[in-house]
Amino acid sequence: MRKPMAVANWKMNKNGEETRQFLRDYMAQASGITGAEAVICPPFTLLATVQQEIGSPAALARGAQNCFWEDKGAYTGEISAPMLKELGCSYVIIGHSERRLIMGENDEQINRKLKAVLQCGLVPILCVGETLQQRENKAALTVVKNQLDKNLQGLHVQPGQLVIAYEPVWAIGTGVNASSDDAQEMIACIRSRLRELFNDELASATRILYGGSVREDNAADLMAKPDIDGALIGGASLEADSFVRIARIIAHG
C-alpha cells in the first residue's frame, strides 16, 4: 500500500519570519492528517529554521529543492547530500523542470545527483515531464520515457527509495493543469517503465506524484485515479491553510 504524499515546493520564496509563521499555522491546523505524508521543501537558507521549529520529524518531513553530486570540495555555491541530511532532510527534489530549462541541467547531471542522494540514504523525488510543444507534437510519452531511462541509468534502487513526480512543464505556475485522465495516463506509463527498468515490486511500491498547478479544486479528481499517489505543490503550498486543505484531500483519497 503506497502512502500518498503532499510535497510543498516553495521554490525561491519566504524569509525566516514568514517560515516560522507558516509552521505555526500548519501545526495548529494539521492534526489528524495521518493518511498522507506531508513534506516541506523550502530554500536552503530556511532548512535550519524548519528543523528548529518542527521538532518531531514525523509531524512534517523535510526535503531540499536540489543538491550537488559530490559530498564536498571546491564547488562554490553548491550544497551536498550529506549537508542536507545533517539539516534533517529526508527527501531531495532532483531534475525539476525549472532547473532543466532555466539552469540547463542535463540528464547526465541529474543521474549523478540521483546516485549521490541515494548513496547518502536520502530519497530523491525525480521530476520528469514534457513541454507544450512536445505534447502538441505527440511526443510526450517518448520524452518522459527517455528522461526515465537516462536519469535512472545504473541506479540500484530498492522499493521505497525513490519517488517520481510527473510535472508537465506547460502546467507549472500557469494555472492550467493537465486533466486527471491525462495525468493518470502518463503516470501509468511511468509505472510501466519502472517495471521494465527494474521489477514489478519496485514499480508497485514507488509513489508517483502529479505536479503542475495543483489546487484544492482539482486535487480530489487527481487523487481518484489509481496510479496517482499525491502531489508536488508549488504556489498553493505557500499558505499554510491552503497546503493543509490539499494535504487533507490527498490523505482521504
Q: Are 94 and 117 in contact (CB under 8 A)?
A: yes
DSSP 171: G
Task: Determine the residue type at 89.
Answer: C
Q: Are 185 and 226 in contact (CB under 8 A)?
A: no
CA distance 244 to 107: 34
Task: Determine the residue type at 29.
Answer: Q
CA distance 4 to 136: 30
Q: Are 200 and 183 in contact (CB under 8 A)?
A: no
CA distance 51 to 42: 11
Contacts of 33 (CB under 8 A, 6+ apart): 244, 247, 248, 251
Residue 201 DSSP SS3: helix
Which three cell numbers, joined as nine digits, stand for 164?
517520481
Q: Which one of 37, 96, 98, 130 is the catalytic residue?
A: 96
Q: Which one of 37, 98, 130, 167 is the catalytic residue?
A: 167
Based on the residue annotation, tell me whether 156 is a catalytic residue of this protein. no
Based on the residue annotation, tell me whether 167 is a catalytic residue of this protein. yes
Q: What residues are annotated to the active site?
A: 96, 167
